[in-house]
Amino acid sequence: MAVREISYRDAINEALREEMERDPTVCILGEDVGRYGGPFQVTRGLYERFGEWRVRDTPISEEGFTGMAVGAAMTGLRPVVEIMYNDFVTLAMDQIINQAAKARYMFGGKARVPMVIRTQGGAGRGNAAQHSQSLEMWFVHIPGLIVIQPSTPYDAKGLLKSAIRNDNPVIFIEHKLLYVTTGPVPEEEYLVPIGVADIKRAGDDVTIVATSRMVHFALQAAGELEKEGIQAEVIDPRTLKPLDIDTILRSVKKTGRLVVVNEGHLTGGFTAEVAARVQREAFDWLDAPIMQVATEDVPIPYNRQLEWEAMPSVADIINAVKSVVYR
């Protein structure tokens, strides 16, 4: 029997529902997550099922409810906070960086902060500069945090379930343009482990490491490249921190070539981090410079053409691959 296909949004909804059924300490806090069902309808039906104390509509107070989740997590709950756009984490950064991420270490290992911050990022929808950023690297930089970016419904569900059961603060960044995409998700329960990359497509000529929506761009590029006889291997780290560098290194040692694609800005971004790790640990296997495909160092503009120009494109990935396979 074929595995059913559901949307990325519904996969996340299922993960939340299943974990809330399983564990009465899991509760959701966020703006419009209750009666309205979430601005992207990710939490719909949960308020009706679990009630207001476990699916809490909060005022527009990101710092307040994120910090409350820290206190709730330290005292026996497993809160899942929704921050509507990842751009709004700026308002809650003290709670995430100074409180959630540090509590365990600075208190000598006694505190546990089992919380998940669900948010969504990414450009391509005309949301302009304050609703389109990809801020994952801010969190990747901070010890104590786990950072996850799922690209498929299957990964989104399995990773969110793992994130909720994890005893650390987890930043779970969805993509606004993936909510309506669909993919196979088994009916039976499963988990996707944190910190394990997935090879989305096998190939021998070049390694493409891509995250979130860029995985789909990379797969499209790989399809085009195949027509020209270039076999690309596409790796989705799925978890950005801790990074499964071993899977990436194994691939690079096979292909000798690496292109890294991420929707964050180029400077100080994820592509630079992966490039640094790979040149340090697999320098002798590289046959070409590592190429980075990332968003231009400009705020995301509103105009469609300008926005698309700022973001990585399938053509950008194809060009980067061609430049490292010298064709």
Partner 1 sequence: MTLDRAKLADMYYRMWLIRHFESRARWLFQQDLVRGSTHTYTGEEAVAVGACAALNRDDYITSTHRGHGHCLAKGGDPRRMMAELLGKATGYCKGKGGSMHIADLDLGILGANGIVGGGIAIATGAAYSAKVRGTRQVVVCFFGDGAANQGVLLEAGNMAALWKLPVIYLCEENQYAEFSPSRPFFAVERLEQRALGLGMEGIPVDGNDVLAVYETVRQAVERARAGQGPSFIVAKTYRWEGHTVGDPLTYRPAGEAEQWKTPERDPIARFGKYLVEQAGFAPAELEEMNQRAEAEIEAAVQFAMDSPEPAIATLWEDVYA
Residues written for the chain = 327
Q: Is 18 in the site for partner 1 (CB under 8 A)?
A: no
95, 119, 134, 149: which one binds partner 1 (CB under 8 A): 95
> Measured from the CB atom, is 96 or 300 closer to partner 1?
96
**Which residues, in sequence order, are bridge partners of residue 183?**
6
Contact (Cβ atoms closer than 8 angstroms) between residue 297 and residue 266: yes
Exactly one of 14, 62, 136, 273 is catalytic; name it.
62
Contact mark string toward partner 1, 207..236, x via CB under 8 A: ------------------------------
Contact mark string toward partner 1, 165..204, x via CB under 8 A: -xxx------------------------------------
- Contact segment (CB under 8 A) with partner 1 among 95-103, 125-133, 246-254, 319-327 equals 95-103
Residue 48 CB, nearest distance to partner 1 (Å)? 18
- Concerning whether 188 is annotated as a catalytic residue, the answer is no
Residue tagged 């959701």 (tokens): 28
Nearest by Cα to 289 from 247, 262, 260: 260
> Kindly report the CA angle at 90 between 34 and 311, in degrees rounded to 5?
95
Residue 89: φ, ψ to 5° = -65, -20
Round to whole Å and give the CA distance between 44 and 28. 12
Contact (Cβ atoms closer than 8 angstroms) between residue 83 and residue 119: yes
> Measured from the CB atom, is 109 or 229 closer to partner 1?
109
> Measured from the CB atom, is 194 or 215 closer to partner 1?
194
Contact (Cβ atoms closer than 8 angstroms) between residue 238 and residue 151: yes
Q: How many CB atoms lie within 10 A of CB 187?
A: 10
Residues 6+ apart with CB under 8 A from 231: 202, 203, 204, 205, 206, 225
Round to whole Å and give the CA distance between 157 and 226. 30
Residue tagged 């988990």 (tokens): 191
CA distance between the termini of the chain: 43
Residue tagged 């929808």 (tokens): 125
Tell me the C-alpha to C-alpha distance, in Å, between residue 258 and each of 197, 199, 206.
16, 14, 6
Q: How many residues bind partner 1 (CB under 8 A)?
A: 45
Contact mark string toward partner 1, 286..325, x via CB under 8 A: ----------------------------------------
Q: Is the peptide bond before 289 cis (omega within 30 degrees of 0)?
A: no
**Radius of gyration of the CA atoms of the chain, in A:** 20
Residue 201 CB, nearest distance to partner 1 (Å)? 31
The residues in 60-79 that bind partner 1, with binding defined as CB under 8 A, are 61, 63-77, 79
Q: Is 111 in the site for partner 1 (CB under 8 A)?
A: yes
Q: Is 84 in the site for partner 1 (CB under 8 A)?
A: no
Q: Is 27 in the site for partner 1 (CB under 8 A)?
A: yes
59, 227, 229, 326: which one binds partner 1 (CB under 8 A): 59
Q: Is 104 in the site for partner 1 (CB under 8 A)?
A: yes
Residue 70 CB, nearest distance to partner 1 (Å)? 5
Q: Is 144 in the site for partner 1 (CB under 8 A)?
A: yes
- Concerning whether 131 is annotated as a catalytic residue, the answer is yes
- Contact segment (CB under 8 A) with partner 1 among 141-149, 258-266, 279-287, 319-327 equals 141-149
Residue 107 CB, nearest distance to partner 1 (Å)? 4
Cite the active site residues.
62, 131
Residue numbers of the site for partner 1 (CB under 8 A)?
A: 25, 27, 53-54, 58-59, 61, 63-77, 79, 94-95, 98-99, 103-114, 143-144, 146, 166-168
